Copies of this chain bind each other. A is one copy, B any other.
Amino acid sequence: MELKVKNIPIETGANVALINIADAAQYGIRAGDRIEIRSGNRKRSNAIVDTTTIMPKHSIGFTKELSDELNLKEGSSVEIEKVEQPKSLIAIRDKLNKRRLDYESAYEIVKDVVNKKLSQNEITAFVVGLHAYELDLEEAEYMSMAMVKTGSTLNLKKDRIFDKHSIGGVPGDKTTLLVVPIVASADLTIPKTSSRAITSAAGTADRAEVLMPVNLSIEEMKKVVSKTNGCIAWGGAVHLAPADDIFIKIEYPFSIDPLLLPSIMSKKKAVGSTDMVLDVPVGETSKIKSVAEAEVLVKDFMELGSRMGIRVQGAITYGEQPVGYSIGAAAEAREALQTLEGDGKSLDLIDKATSIAGMLLEMSEKKNGKELALKLLRSGAAAKKLREIIEEQGGEPKIKPEEIQIGKHVVTINADREGRVLQINNSALAYATRIAGAPIEKEAAIILHKKLGDPVKKGEPLFSIYSNSAPNLSAAEKYATENMAMLVGSGSTMLIKKIVAKKIVQPSFMIER
């Protein structure tokens, strides 16, 4: 039977051919089967079948992906034949039958994900299978190496390349904006890629974008690093591990992340990192709740790193409250710049940034890393380095902190009693900033006036919310107040929250990758 091509203007993430369900029965083909499509003697390509009632009989619908690959005119005649399932799908079935992944299977799956040879359903089955049966470290290594092999790599030709990664979960964490220039100003190479906000108020890429373009290609990234030793680029533009972007999109509705380690480590390997500090913030309202949990995570990263030739050290950091005093891309970029310029107010930010930078400096065999980092910060060397990076990435190197605008409407939440700040709810603050407009509105912000342990008088300001939209601002105020973003009490306050009705709680953040 000959089928006439119909190009359907839709992307399905895979090379899918749509066939009328009656035609499919004639061929003995079901949805999910693979077919070879032949046009004359020339074109041959494999596709995944989806059956449908709305495709006319004796037609075959090509999704955009398949149209692009076969490039056949509307109405062309093709022949089809059922072919065997690809090795990648058999490997997925094996994983669903609890068989371990070997490198070949991992590579076949990742390659076919990137080449659109697996349907979204099949990739979903794979990630859910990984979530349920888990990956051991050997399988994580295979997935990581397969993701590196199927993506772009940054070939800097340096013996040592330094990196840091935070698993996130703490709002206001602008540490990277300080660590990169400190480390780079000590002549170490640090080609940093960062993510944008998914469920948080700002990702490092969003923060950096207030100061400079971050959508760098891999060639642009190479150029910036070779001139300045460092960069702060958005990972999504660099295509370091394209399979991972597909996995993340599929995992999102389920809030699962079985590929967390391969996702992060493949990108580090792709930029050639040899030495990395993993920052794990720990706090009751952070992603990681306890030091014990953080230690297990760091150990996994260390072991996977050693298999992949990356030396990993872990920094378990205090994550009970936001880092510094600001949340929201613009406000955070401003605070980072102020701190680099010598403003000494954000003591926790300075301590965190110089501790992590210090660990990296010591990994490079320098002595007294933390003191050296503090010196590079206080001397203005780091600030100068950041301005070099801003210039090379195409931003305005002379930008002043006070030129960075935040939301034009503001509301301040005051203490309703006297006491001390007993608890700060990280996720409530992040979500309130999102209601105010973040991450799309970079000017949306929360500025803290008090931090944990600070004494507070009744009526004193606790924090202010900023937004360019008055309705969003009042919604954010309502949310922050109702969800007790900042808890003030005396030393004898014990009841934190009364639960009076069952409520479905949606997780408000994922681990950053």
A408 to B151, CA, bound (A): 55
Residues of chain B within 8 A (CB-CB) of A122 are 253-254
The stretch of A22-30, A331-339, A484-492 that contacts the partner chain: A22-30
Residue of B nearest to A437 (CB): B28
A32 to B120, CA, bound (A): 12
Chain A interface size band reads 35 or more
Residues of chain B within 8 A (CB-CB) of A28 are 434, 439-440
* A27: min CB distance to chain B, Å: 8
Residues of chain B within 8 A (CB-CB) of A125 are 124-125, 128, 253-254
Q: Which among A25, A53, A120, A198 has the highest number of chain B CB atoms within 10 Å?
A: A120
Contact of A10 with B by CB under 8 A: yes
A301 to B32, CA, bound (A): 30
Residues of chain B within 8 A (CB-CB) of A32 are 249, 252-253
The stretch of A86-94, A167-175, A286-294 that contacts the partner chain: A86-94
A93 to B128, CA, bound (A): 11
* A163: min CB distance to chain B, Å: 27
Q: Given B85, B128, B250, which contacts A506 in the complex, CB threshold below 8 Å?
A: B85
Residues of chain B within 8 A (CB-CB) of A366 are none
Query: Is the Cβ of A9 less than 8 Å from the Cβ of B252?
Result: no
Residues of chain B within 8 A (CB-CB) of A64 are 54
Q: Given B31, B132, B506, which contacts A96 in the complex, CB threshold below 8 Å?
A: B132
A440 to B122, CA, bound (A): 27
A158 to B51, CA, bound (A): 39
Residues of chain B within 8 A (CB-CB) of A120 are 120-121
Given A10-B52, A28-B440, A129-B128, verify A253-B121 contact (CB < 8 Å): yes
Contact of A2 with B by CB under 8 A: no
Residues of chain B within 8 A (CB-CB) of A506 are 84-85, 90
Query: Is the Cβ of A96 less than 8 Å from the Cβ of B254?
Result: yes
Query: Is the Cβ of B124 less than 8 Å from the Cβ of A31?
Result: no
Residues of chain B within 8 A (CB-CB) of A504 are 87, 90
Residues of chain B within 8 A (CB-CB) of A10 are 8, 10, 18, 52, 54, 61
Contact of A255 with B by CB under 8 A: yes
Residue of B nearest to A94 (CB): B504
* A382: min CB distance to chain B, Å: 32
Residue of B nearest to A25 (CB): B440
A124 to B132, CA, bound (A): 13
A10 to B17, CA, bound (A): 11
Chain A positions 60-116 with a Cβ under 8 Å from a chain B Cβ: 61, 64, 84-85, 87, 89-90, 92-93, 96
A392 to B182, CA, bound (A): 87
The 25 sampled A-B contact pairs (Cβ below 8 Å) are A8-B9, A8-B10, A10-B10, A10-B18, A10-B52, A10-B54, A11-B52, A26-B440, A28-B439, A30-B252, A31-B249, A32-B253, A33-B253, A90-B506, A92-B254, A93-B254, A96-B256, A119-B253, A120-B120, A121-B250, A121-B253, A124-B128, A125-B254, A128-B128, A132-B132
